[in-house]
Amino acid sequence: VVDAGHELDLLLAGSDPDAQTAAAVHRVIRLPFTATRRPERRRDQRLLALRLAVRGGPSELYDNSGARAALEAGWPDETYDVVVIEHAGLAPLVKHRRTGEHWICTLQNIASGTASALRDLAPGRRQRLLVGREVQQAAGLERVAIEHNDSDVTVSPDDGQLLPGPSTVVPNGVDLVAFSPSPVPRTPTLLFTGTLSYLPNVDGLQWFCRVVFPLVQAQVPDVVFHVVGRDPTPQIRALADVPGIVLSADVPSVKPFLAASRVCVVPLRVGTGSRLKALEALASGRPLVGTTVGPAGLGLTDQAVTADDPSALADAIVTLLLDDARADQLAAAGRQYVEESFGWDSVARPLVEHLARVSPR
């Protein structure tokens, strides 16, 4: 965006941007923000997990409830040609729009789409009712994003089809230098990375560990499954007691785990948007296996293996653990695909074109 001639101010609450981003933008406006403490009681954690899931994860609802208040209080006085906000959870900020500004809301996922599937998976009537209420609230945020902002951006064509009006697709991308390929290890190791309090991840991991992983262990007894990510729920922490499963929480970087893993798995049963974990695995030259939901939104065909049947999913994993040539071939195909379609230049192009259409100059 900056290379296209746009002068960019970055307004954020909380953490500082990385040095490369800070050097590229015109100005960084950082607002003080302290995240709300998460509940300690297990019952409250379960209720919170449901609320987070239908709003697109912790970064969009729970953590950003305070961030949005900080942005409200510290909104700059300048008038901009274009304002881009990230996530439907920040859509109400549109009330700060000044005459002449064009506001764009980026929906990293369609929470109402995820919620309808979550409601089907909820184990009890009370939880289904809770999800139902959250569905309505999530849909309300989406309506604000769609009706009150001037244009909307989604990260996949599938998400665009869930919206009532037109949207511009700007895919998620991956740093092809930071996530670079290395030889596929020959040890039987599986890897999952992600936010471990996000309910689609929690649900998918519990299902995979309970139903699929034992089928893999039956054929490859020494297989090890690494679960890596931040903020694990009690349910995820309990998985570490299962033989063959290793939990690594709140690590500074997932890159060492990617380098050491033979196969990456994305066993999600619900979700919209696209998974950064899938892009990072492909960019790192790791064979990717998942449910059809797991790598959805990336347009993958023969660059990954997908199956929703537990036995078929387990067999696909076992093949990649035992067949070096197949693992190497899939890894190379995945890396080539992200190089062609998901590097920064590729994913920025539709956003730059959209900015050119809506900017007054």
Report the distance separating Cα 353 and Cα 4, nearest Å.
Answer: 10
Q: How much is the average pLDDT of 100-114? A: 86
Task: Encode pLDDT of 37-84 as tens digits.
Answer: 555 555 555 555 555 544 444 334 444 567 788 888 899 999 999 999
For 321, the token pair is: 């653990």
Residues of the chain with CATH 3.40.50.2000: 189-341
Burial of 74 (0-12, 13-18, 19+ CB in 10 A): middle
Q: Which comes out higher in pLDDT, residue 79 or 122?
A: 79
Position 64 scores a pLDDT of 56
Sign of CA dihedral 84, 88, 89, 94: positive
What percentage of the chain reaches a pLDDT higher than 70? 88
The rounded Cα 174 to chain-centroid distance in angstroms is 12
Q: Which comes out higher in pLDDT, residue 238 or 91?
A: 238
Say what the pTM is.
Answer: 0.86
Report the distance separating Cα 90 and Cα 81, nearest Å.
Answer: 19
CA proximity to 211, closest of 313, 126, 306: 313
Task: Encode pLDDT of 132-184 as tens digits.
Answer: 676 777 777 777 778 888 999 999 998 888 887 889 999 999 999 999 999 99
Position 4 scores a pLDDT of 84
> What does CATH list as the number for 189-341?
3.40.50.2000
Please, which pLDDT band fits residue 102 given cuts at 50, 70 and 90? very high
Q: How much is the average pLDDT of 308-321? A: 99
pLDDT at 244 over 80: yes
Q: How much is the average pLDDT of 19-25? A: 89
Position 110 scores a pLDDT of 79
